Chain A
Amino acid sequence: MGKINGIFRYQKYMSFFRMRFLAGLQYRAAAFAGVITQFAWGFMEILVFRAFYEVNPGAFPMTREALSSYIWLQQALLALFMTWFLENDIFHTITDGGIAYELCRPTDLYVMWFFRSMANRLSKAVLRCLPILIVAAFLPAPYGMRLPASPKAGLWFLITGLLGFLVVVAFCMLVYIATFYTYSPVGIRMVAISMVEFLSGSVVPLPFLPEGFRQLIELLPFASMQNVPFRIYSGDISGMEIYTRAGLQLFWYIALVWLGKRLTAAALKRVVIQGG
């Protein structure tokens, strides 16, 4: 009985998810422009890394095939894993007081926004990922996208991909919630985004960072985002390491959600609905 009730409890959030997802699918022109940008970006990155490789192949910490898959996955799934993919609507509801209506609903604000962010990202990713993946699959080696290193790698790519996605959303929730405390979200966004861009491996894959420093940041929540699934896919992370990384992802997911819920509850106690 308790379990059935639990499922019903999430049904309303699923409707919310569906609504946001369908709304997100409407923006075809934006998706088309996005696909073009991401192709250009992906090619550029691959060429830059090719230049590095030709200077000193011995210093290259990943195989070139693994790197190409990493870059194409990153470009195709940009909407899922990029922390700068934030929803302006959520910032606006806080800063202009539209949140009044959201608080009049029998829903948990945190859960509702979490589902909303997931839906928004997924709808964008669905529109963008296929063209990129298909074209990348037909590019010649070592520049193209390859199949997963093994069936096991494929499976764990999906599992850690989901976990990484949840960590990204949970992190972004903290950025949204911070707006309750600072009023203007711009500062926090700038700092959070540029820091995370670098630490999550979206500028350069983490294996390229110097020893010592790298070990440290691999423990941070940011390394539990795209870094894990993309490297498992091409076999750059394999064996037992897969499980420790997935475990760390799970830990960060739970920790970030816990923190986010705590901060939301505290914020709502002192919330002032802006604008009359």
Chain B
Amino acid sequence: MIEVQHISKTFQVSRRGAGFSEAFKALFHRQYECIKALDDISFRIEDGEMVGYIGPNGAGKSSTIKVLSGILTPDRGTCSINGRIPWKERTAHVNEIGVVFGQRSQLWWDVPVIDSFELLRDIYRVPRRLYDSNLEELVTLLKLEELVRTPARQLSLGQRMRCEIAASLLHSPKILFLDEPTIGLDAVSKIAVRDFILEQNRKHKTTVILTTHDMQDIETLTKRIILIGKGKILMDGSLEHIRKRFSATKKLTVEYRGKHIIPCDGMELCSSSNQIASFEINPDKLGVSDAIAHISSQVEVRDLSVESASIDKIVANLYQQYQI
């Protein structure tokens, strides 16, 4: 169980304008600004939960992950993960967690991936039998047979990321922190990685905390979302809840034969061309079936589709609404 209470962390950032004279001035008088990376963060995550941690760039996502994995000491606040304070009992704590930083590599550049894996086995002191069975499982699920014998520098980004994820799971961690695990991956690799994470959570009850900008990740993986902006937690709730609250509207697209469609109250015409029209429907005022009935009373409908607003759009709305 992860329990975070009132964590705050401030960074000093030196700032200056562009140009020679500004740089020269900064030599003698440096201006620092305090940036509140984390501002009174509290949340609680149960064992086996999968949580999406989202927010715009610079919101404090990575800082939170660093605090939770014990490599950053907050200025204030407490945090207890399975009964331990990460930054105080770092060594004992990190034995139970796996971390993937999507933008960095933990594999040794010049040697085959399997050598890095064996080094990790020794570092975590994973018993031989457990290591073998974990390795076999990871190699099969992530399709690494060929890759593990290749030096890391010769792998493509997607191949390397699969190896990175495997490397973080060799010691069967109870908690997995994924900091942008699908960054830069192609569609096939993304789906492979997502399926794998789901499988891990289902089979081993691994708690997963995921930061990402890819809303597809959030949609397929997590039920719960924590939204952070400017270091503060703005919202913590289920994906469904957020969907209902922030994107009530549905999009209805019709292909029809006939004259123009005149929208009724509760629906709004978004676009219309070539006998195809799309409407935004506000379900508080108008049911979807009523809208369809209204349209088909005017024209002959040939094809029709109803969509909820995309999660990307919801999140963009959220960011806008909270002004972050």
User: A198 within 8 Å of B by Cβ?
Assistant: no
Chain A residues with CB under 8 A of B90: 103
The residue in chain B whose Cβ has the minimal distance to the Cβ of A104 is B99
Chain B residues 140-174 with CB under 8 Å of chain A are none
Question: What residues on A are CB-neighbors of B1 within 8 Å?
Answer: none
- Interface residue stretch chosen among B117-125, B223-231, B287-295: B117-125
In the complex, the answer to whether A106 meets B92 with C-beta atoms within 8 Å is yes
Complexed CA–CA distance, A98 and B99 (Å): 13
Query: Could you tell me if B101 and A15 are in contact, using CB atoms closer than 8 angstroms?
Result: no
Q: Is the CB of B110 within 8 A of A16?
A: no
B66 close to A105 (CB less than 8 A): no
Interface status of B69 (Cβ within 8 A of chain A): yes
- Bound Cα distance A26, B111 (Å): 10
Residues of chain B at interface, number, CB under 8 A = 30
Interface with B: A41-49, A235-243, A268-276, which one? A268-276
Task: Let me know if B94 and A23 touch, CB within 8 A.
Answer: no
Q: How far is the CA of A15 from the CA of B108 in the complex (A)?
A: 13
Across the interface, do A103 and B71 meet the contact criterion of CB distance under 8 Å?
A: yes
Indicate if the CB atoms of A101 and B66 lie closer than 8 Å: no
For chain A, the count of residues having a C-beta within 8 Å of the partner chain is: 27
B101 to chain A, nearest CB (A): 6
The reply to whether A106 and B66 form a contact with Cβ atoms under 8 Å apart is no
Q: In the complex, A15 Cα to B62 Cα: how many Å?
A: 30
Would you call A15 and B119 a contact (CB within 8 A)? yes
Is B73 engaged at the interface, CB distance under 8 Å to the other chain? yes
Chain A residues 256 to 276 lying within 8 A of chain B, measured CB to CB, are 269-273, 275-276
Rounded to whole Å, the gap between the CB of A89 and the closest CB of chain B is 9
Asked if residues B123 and A273 are in contact (CB atoms below 8 Å), the reply is no
Query: CB distance A23 to B62 under 8 Å?
Result: no
B101 touches A22 (CB 8 A): no
Is A23 a contact of B108 with CB atoms below 8 Å?
A: yes
Q: Does B296 contact A (CB under 8 A)?
A: no
Q: Is the CB of B71 within 8 A of A271?
A: yes
**Within 8 Å CB of B62, what residues of A?**
276
Q: Are A23 and B71 in contact (CB under 8 A)?
A: no
Instruction: Say whether A251 faces chain B, with CB atoms less than 8 Å apart.
Output: no
In the complex, whether B115 has a CB less than 8 A from a CB of chain A is yes
Query: Contacts A8-B125, A273-B66 hold; do A104 and B71 have CB atoms under 8 A apart?
Result: yes
Which of the residues B70, B72, B115, B122 comes within 8 Å of A12, measured between beta carbons? B122
Report the separation of the CA atoms of residues A95 and B135 in the bound assembly, to the nearest whole angstrom. Answer: 33
Contact residues of B between 34 and 75, Cβ < 8 Å to A: 62, 66, 69-73
- The 23 sampled A-B contact pairs (Cβ below 8 Å) are A12-B122, A12-B123, A14-B122, A15-B122, A15-B123, A16-B119, A19-B111, A19-B115, A26-B110, A97-B104, A100-B66, A100-B104, A101-B104, A101-B105, A103-B71, A104-B69, A104-B94, A104-B99, A106-B94, A106-B95, A106-B124, A271-B71, A271-B72
| Residues on B facing A (Cβ under 8 Å) | 11, 62, 66, 69-73, 90-92, 94-95, 97, 99, 101, 103-106, 108, 110-111, 115, 118-119, 122-125
| A residues neighboring B (CB under 8 Å) | 8, 11-12, 14-16, 19, 22-23, 26, 97-98, 100-101, 103-108, 269-273, 275-276
8 nearest A-B pairs in the assembled complex, by CB-CB distance: A15-B122, A103-B71, A101-B106, A12-B123, A106-B91, A104-B99, A106-B95, A12-B122
